[in-house]
C-alpha cells in the first residue's frame, strides 16, 4: 500500500506517521460534521427552514466527500483510516455539537463554529504538508479548506438573512 509514496516523503524528511495521525483526526471530524449537518437538517424548524435544510443537506454530502478524499490519502500513505466510529469521538479536533435547540438560527451558529474549527484543522495540515514537501496532501487539504471557507460563508449569509435588524 503506497510504498513508493511513503518512501519519497520519508526521504524529504516528512514524518509520515504524524501526518497520518493528523489526517485521521480530520477524517473523524468529517464524519462528525456529516452527522451533525444531516441530523440538524432533519430537526430544523423556524425561519427559512426549507432553504436552510437544503443547504445543510448539501454541506452534509460535501463533508462525506471530504471524508472520502482524506480516507484515500491515508491509505495511499500506508495508513489505516479509523475503523470504529467510537474512535471518531476520541480523535476528533472539532467534536460533535448535539443539536438540542432546533431553531434554524441556533443550528446555523453551531455549524458556523464547526466550520471555523475545520478551517483551522486544514490550515494546519496544509502547513504541515507544505513544510514536509508533500504536494499531494497539500493540494487535497488546500482544496478541502477552500470548501470549508465557502461553507462558513454560506452559513454566515443565511444567518444574516434571518437576523432581524
Q: Enumerate binding residues for Fe ion (CB under 5 A).
A: 30, 63, 66, 148, 151
Q: What DSSP designation does 100 have?
A: -
User: Which residues, other chains included, contact 3 with Cβ-Cβ below 8 Å and sequence gap of 6+?
Assistant: 78
For the purposes of burial, counting CB atoms within 10 Å of the CB of 157, is it exposed (0-12), middle (13-18) or buried (19 or more)? exposed
Please, what is the minimum distance in Å from the beta carbon of residue 33 to Fe ion? 5
Q: Choose the contact partner of 63 out of Fe ion, Mg ion, none; CB within 5 to 8 A by kind.
A: Fe ion
Please, what is the minimum distance in Å from the beta carbon of residue 55 to Mg ion? 5
The single residue listed with the C-alpha cell 435547540 is: 101
Q: Choose the contact partner of 154 out of Fe ion, Mg ion, none; CB within 5 to 8 A by kind.
A: Mg ion
Which of 154, 157, 160, 162 is in the footprint of Mg ion by CB under 5 A?
154
* Nine-digit cell string for 131: 513544510
Binders of Mg ion: how many residues, by CB under 5 A? 1
Amino acid at each position: 500500500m503506497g510504498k513508493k509514496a511513503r518512501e519519497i516523503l520519508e526521504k524529504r524528511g516528512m514524518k509520515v506517521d504524524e501526518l497520518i495521525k493528523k489526517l485521521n483526526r480530520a477524517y473523524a471530524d468529517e464524519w462528525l460534521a456529516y452527522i451533525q449537518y444531516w441530523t440538524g437538517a432533519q430537526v430544523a424548524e423556524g425561519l427559512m427552514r426549507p432553504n436552510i435544510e437544503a443547504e445543510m443537506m448539501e454541506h452534509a454530502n460535501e463533508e462525506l466527500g471530504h471524508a472520502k478524499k482524506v480516507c484515500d490519502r491515508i491509505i495511499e500513505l500506508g495508513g489505516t483510516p479509523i475503523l470504529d466510529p467510537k474512535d471518531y469521538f476520541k480523535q476528533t479536533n472539532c467534536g460533535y455539537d448535539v443539536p438540542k435547540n432546533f431553531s434554524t438560527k441556533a443550528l446555523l451558529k453551531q455549524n458556523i463554529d464547526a466550520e471555523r474549527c475545520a478551517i483551522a484543522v486544514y490550515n494546519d495540515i496544509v502547513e504541515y504538508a507544505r513544510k514536509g514537501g508533500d504536494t499531494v496532501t497539500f493540494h487535497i487539504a488546500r482544496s478541502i479548506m477552500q470548501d470549508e471557507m465557502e461553507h462558513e460563508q454560506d452559513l454566515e449569509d443565511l444567518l444574516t438573512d434571518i437576523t432581524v435588524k
